[in-house]
Amino acid sequence: MKKNMGMVDRVVRLVLAIAVLILYLTGVISGLVALILGVFALIFVVTSLIGSCPLYSFFKFSTRKE
């Protein structure tokens, strides 16, 4: 996969994933909402770590400066 995510994009995704985790652990979110946000958080973490977002590739979009 070609890297298409800039550093700011990657950091923002990781911060959002951590925020979801904190909300879950403190009991602010639960049930279906927690499950849905947890899935998005997991996707954010994975795409941040690999530096590539499949949706960005599909739409030929990139936040990475070359």
The per-residue pLDDT for 66 is 74
* Tens place of pLDDT per residue across the chain (66 aa): 789 999 999 999 999 999 999 999 999 999 999 999 999 999 999 999 999 999 999 999 999 987
Q: Which tokens hold the place of 4?
A: 């298409």
Full-model pTM: 0.88
The per-residue pLDDT for 1 is 79
Q: Which residues are within 8 A (CB) of 51 and not within 5 positions of it... i.e. 6 or more apart?
A: 3, 4, 5, 10, 64
The per-residue pLDDT for 30 is 96
